[in-house]
């Protein structure tokens, strides 16, 4: 059973504590941002509930009775322990590592290279990226947020908040050597990762016959772009992910139409959040 049931109202205890500290109803009222009459009423109500005088007037000041001295000391100890406990909780939360679930591509090509900027702005926040193609379960896995690419038609679940960051076109890409080989996109090998079903659905939208494609299955999504760079096959990637490779000439775009756009977004569990979570989510909105 809660021990709060045995206590007078917290408002009355705060009013008496402030009166004991400041020595007057008027000063206590200013400290609590209420009128001195409200403080007086709360202290009188507390005396009535306890059946003992706690204060005595001494001109404009207020002195404490022996009972008032004992209660003031107990409240000082109790409120002090509460303040210390809350401060320790906050310090622990500030030190706790921020856990972010995302895909390998987003982590390696977009977020990780820009993390020094975040740490320059927020030097006390540690960030741990957990790249995985599977969706994060916040309650089960303890992640603070996820950064995902969402296909059109996505919906926000009741337990989540989704903050879109940007839209990015899905492109078909390959190495310059493969593009110059004379093979048509239908004749080229295609590199697949763990999410091959979704990728093949994308490719099918271009009009290619996916049942006739020669597939290069790697079993790991973070190897796909590397395999494409090495000329092992064509593949799909969002423009934001392969931008650096396109600019450097390591990859070229295949002229296929019909590929979709995706929405990159921050996914947050609903409920109270640490300031560090909001800081990182806000920073992500500046880099996409």
Higher pLDDT, residue 154 or 116: 116
Backbone φ and ψ of 131, nearest 5°? -70, 130
pLDDT at 1 over 60: no
Taking the alpha carbons at both ends of the chain, their separation in whole angstroms is 51
pLDDT at 239 over 70: yes
| pTM (2 d.p.) | 0.67
* Band of pLDDT at residue 221, cut at 50, 70 and 90: low
Closest CA to 58 of 19, 24, 29, 14: 24
- Per-residue pLDDT of 155-207, as tens digits, reads 888 889 999 999 999 999 999 999 999 999 999 999 976 456 778 888 999 99
For the chain, what is the mean pLDDT?
88
* Band of pLDDT at residue 232, cut at 50, 70 and 90: very high
CA–CA distance, 262 with 105 (Å, rounded to integer):
14
Closest CA to 217 of 232, 229, 238, 204: 232
pLDDT at 145: 93
Name all domains of the chain by residue range, CATH numbers in brackets: 3-94 (1.10.10.10), 169-262 (3.40.190.10)
pLDDT at 96: 75
pLDDT at 218 over 90: no
pLDDT at 6 over 80: no
Residue that the structure tokens 């947050």 belong to: 268
pLDDT at 2: 58
pLDDT at 95: 65
Higher pLDDT, residue 108 or 134: 108
pLDDT at 171: 96
The three-state (H, E, C) secondary structure of 73-129, written as one string? HHHHHHHHHHHHHHHHHHHHHHHCCEEEEECHHHHHHHHHHHHHHHHHHCCCCCEEE
Secondary structure (3-state) at 285: helix
pLDDT at 55 over 70: yes
pLDDT at 17: 92
- Per-residue pLDDT of 251-284, as tens digits, reads 999 999 999 999 999 999 998 888 999 999 999 9
- Per-residue pLDDT of 61-105, as tens digits, reads 888 999 989 998 988 888 888 887 777 766 666 667 899 999 888
CA–CA distance, 48 with 248 (Å, rounded to integer):
80
Cβ neighbours of 33 (radius 10 Å) = 6
59: left (phi over 0), alpha (psi -120 to 50) or beta: left
pLDDT at 40 over 60: yes
């Amino acid at each position: 059973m809660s021990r709060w049931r045995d206590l007078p109202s917290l408002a009355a205890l705060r009013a008496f504590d402030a009166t004991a500290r400041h020595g007057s109803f008027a000063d206590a009222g200013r400290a609590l941002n209420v009128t001195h009459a409200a403080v007086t009423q709360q202290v009188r109500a507390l005396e009535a509930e306890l059946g003992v005088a706690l204060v005595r007037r001494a001109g404009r000041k207020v002195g404490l009775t022996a009972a008032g001295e004992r209660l003031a000391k107990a409240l000082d100890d109790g409120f002090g322990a509460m303040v210390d406990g809350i401060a320790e909780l906050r310090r622990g939360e500030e030190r706790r590592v921020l856990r972010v679930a995302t895909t390998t591509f987003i982590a390696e090509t977009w977020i990780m290279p820009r993390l020094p900027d975040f740490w320059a702005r927020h030097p006390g926040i540690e960030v741990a990226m957990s790249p995985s193609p599977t969706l994060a379960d916040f309650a089960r896995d303890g992640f603070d947020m996820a950064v995902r690419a969402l296909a059109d038609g996505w919906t926000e679940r009741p337990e989540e908040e989704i903050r879109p960051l940007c839209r990015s076109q899905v492109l078909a890409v390959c190495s310059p050597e493969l593009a110059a080989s004379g093979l048509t996109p239908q004749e080229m090998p295609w590199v697949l990762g763990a999410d091959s079903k979704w990728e093949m659905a994308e490719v099918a939208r271009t009009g290619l016959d996916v049942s006739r494609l020669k597939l290069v299955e790697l079993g790991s999504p973070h190897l796909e772009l590397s395999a494409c760079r090495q000329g092992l096959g064509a593949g799909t990637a969002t423009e934001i992910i392969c931008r650096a490779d396109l600019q450097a000439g390591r990859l070229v775009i295949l002229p296929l139409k019909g590929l979709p756009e995706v929405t990159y977004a921050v996914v947050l569990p609903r409920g109270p959040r640490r300031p560090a979570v909001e800081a990182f989510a806000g920073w992500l909105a500046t880099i996409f």
